[in-house]
Chain A
Amino acid sequence: MKKLINKPESVVVEAMRGIEAAHRDLVRVHYDPNYIVRADAPIPGKVGLVSGGGSGHEPMHVGFVGLGMLDAACPGPVFTSPTPDQMLEASKAVNAGAGVLHIVKNYTGDTMNFEMAAELARMEGLEVAQVITADDVAVQDSLYTVGRRGVGVTVLVEKIAGAAAEQKRSLSEVVAIARKVTAQGRSMGMALTSCTVPHRGEPTFSLGEDEIEIGIGIHGEPGRRRVPMASARDIVGMLAEPVIKDLPFKSGDEVLAFVNGMGGTPQIELYIVYNELARILDGCGVKITRNLIGNYITSLEMQGCSITLLKLDDELTRLWDAPVKTAALRWGI
């Protein structure tokens, strides 16, 4: 294992110290329990948006704290859910009386810890709502698994619901918008390589030089199937087809197309992926009206990508375009 770290057990805290040093204008960093909060929180009359999850997916979520997006983020250990005390303290730090929204990815650890945090917060008189993202079409949603995983749509929910909250809309309105995004967004990812969790020191899974994994989550969980290495065109076809079919996205739909890198894939390859995706969507009559290309939800140094499509309407488009100023996303300001 070669990593730019000092020691595995201090990875999360040292990264938090780096964020604190780099972004004093945007955020305050709180330790023990660990959370990162907007520098100007709590903002009177505003719904507070809180998210969190295991570390190792940066910039999600810590890089999305700031104007027009999250009010607070709770980083857990690498690939492990944060704990309710973090979420409770973060919720209290952003509560301005308009309620708090927890944005949670559908992983058992995350959902249970956030559920406990919501119970504790309600005992203290906070109004807490929860939206769960579960956009990964690689997992069959059935009685036999815990359901689809939350992946790329999480970033889009944080941006779009964040814009709605910034406009001082009510908790129920912000929840409704967040749910619309989760209802209209779908994703699928793939890996060229595994990744190595610092405290384990060895790759989470092994992939042969000539193998790729289709349908991975964001922790190196097994995917749908292992296939031989193929061209970008074929790989994007394997990702796009199930995503398009699932909603389904139809001719005439306007979409946001999000090509996300898993952390170890260069931008030049992400543009090749975007080109293939645009070609496929064009062939289906689906119109890309907004896009996002880059590393936003990663799995440490994993090579690979995910694609996310979100069906847009005027309201979602306007909220997407609204100003945002965070460490990782900034426009219109």
Chain B
Amino acid sequence: MTITREHILKWLDAYAHAVNAHADELNRLDAMLGDGDFGASMQRGLGAVQSKMPSMAEQDIGAIFKIVGMILVNTMGGTSGPLLGTLFIQMGGKTQGKTELSLRDWTEALQAGVDGVMARGKAQVGDKTMLDAFVPAVEALQAAVAQGVPVVAALQRAADAAKFGRDETARLIARKGRASYVGERGVGSIDPGAANAYLFVQAMASVVGVE
């Protein structure tokens, strides 16, 4: 089984719906560490993506990712725009010209995206950022590829790993972005970026294999 262009478009829609459902929670988490508008920014960015979806139907997956990346960068602003935009733009670079993805393709695309976020934000695992959920998800996918795990099960493993990583951020002290000024006062609260990363990974598990 492969991940088709239709899956990708459904996934983006599912991700946007998940963000809408959790927007208040994302704002609340952000208010503890930053300026409290992360959920609203995500809604604005993914809302713009949804409105441009009809024009993406004929594009290849790489082009779709690049378009999504540029929309996010230019509608979200702040820190989340360039980070999520870079994630998608790098994924687009890895999937150029493809209209379907094997599990390995998807894994390599996400890995390239996450590497891009790391470079852009100059952050590492453990800094209390989206990376603390994305990196475990990529590692779970890599292990699944190596073990020959079927696509649907592999995507679920990635979602589980992202969820665990998200929850673990509650123990961490933020070292990046505005949250870094809060320091130890932020311990006990999960990182909103990691919460969003889980929604991203979980949305993919929710649309592939659920026909």
Interface residues of A (CB under 8 A from B): 33, 76-77, 79-85, 107-109, 112-113, 115-116, 139, 143-146, 200, 204, 217, 219, 221-222
Scan residues 164-197 of chain B and give those whose CB is less than 8 A from a CB of chain A.
173, 175-178, 180-183
CA distance A80 to B79 in the complex (A): 9
A80-B37, A144-B183 are known; give 11 further A-B pairs, CB within 8 A.
A83-B75, A84-B73, A109-B78, A109-B81, A112-B79, A112-B83, A116-B82, A146-B177, A219-B35, A221-B178, A222-B182
> CB-nearest residue of chain B relative to A33?
B74
Assess the B180–A144 pair: CB atoms within 8 A: yes
Is the CB of B120 closer than 8 A to any CB of chain A?
yes
Is the CB of B36 closer than 8 A to any CB of chain A?
yes
Assess the B178–A83 pair: CB atoms within 8 A: no
User: What residues of chain A lie closer than 8 Å to B178, measured between beta carbons?
Assistant: 107-108, 221
A-B contact pairs, 28 of them (CB 8 A): A76-B77, A80-B77, A81-B77, A81-B78, A83-B76, A83-B77, A84-B74, A85-B73, A108-B79, A108-B178, A109-B77, A112-B79, A112-B83, A112-B121, A113-B81, A115-B82, A116-B73, A116-B86, A139-B181, A143-B175, A144-B180, A144-B183, A145-B175, A145-B180, A145-B183, A146-B176, A219-B35, A222-B182
Assess the A222–B181 pair: CB atoms within 8 A: yes
> CB-nearest residue of chain B relative to A204?
B35
Is the CB of B85 closer than 8 A to any CB of chain A?
yes
CA distance A107 to B34 in the complex (A): 12
Assess the B180–A115 pair: CB atoms within 8 A: no
User: What residues of chain A lie closer than 8 Å to B176, measured between beta carbons?
Assistant: 108, 146
> CB-nearest residue of chain B relative to A149?
B181
Q: Which of A113, A139, A143, A200 contacts B82 (CB 8 A)?
A: A113
Contact-residue bracket for chain B: 20 to 34
Interface residues of B (CB under 8 A from A): 35-37, 73-79, 81-83, 85-86, 120-121, 173, 175-178, 180-183
**Chain B proximity of A74: nearest CB distance (Å):** 11
User: What residues of chain A lie closer than 8 Å to B83, measured between beta carbons?
Assistant: 112
Among A84, A109, A204, A221, the one with the most B-chain Cβ atoms within 10 Å of its Cβ is A109
CA distance A243 to B180 in the complex (A): 22
**Chain B proximity of A318: nearest CB distance (Å):** 37
CA distance A83 to B117 in the complex (A): 17
Assess the A145–B181 pair: CB atoms within 8 A: yes
Q: Which of B35, B86, B180, B183 contacts A146 (CB 8 A)?
A: B180
**Chain A proximity of B76: nearest CB distance (Å):** 8
Assess the B175–A221 pair: CB atoms within 8 A: no
Given contacts A80-B78, A84-B73, contact A200 B120 (CB under 8 A): no
Assess the A82–B121 pair: CB atoms within 8 A: no
> CB-nearest residue of chain A relative to B37?
A80
Assess the B177–A108 pair: CB atoms within 8 A: yes
Q: Which of B75, B77, B79, B86 contacts A82 (CB 8 A)?
A: B77
**Chain B proximity of A112: nearest CB distance (Å):** 4
CA distance A199 to B187 in the complex (A): 28
CA distance A274 to B78 in the complex (A): 35
User: What residues of chain B lie closer than 8 Å to A33, measured between beta carbons?
Assistant: 74
User: What residues of chain A lie closer than 8 Å to B81, measured between beta carbons?
Assistant: 83, 109, 113
User: What residues of chain A lie closer than 8 Å to B180, measured between beta carbons?
Assistant: 144-146
> CB-nearest residue of chain A relative to B75?
A83
CA distance A85 to B72 in the complex (A): 11
Nearest 7 CB-CB pairings of A with B: A112-B82, A145-B180, A109-B79, A85-B74, A109-B78, A108-B177, A108-B79
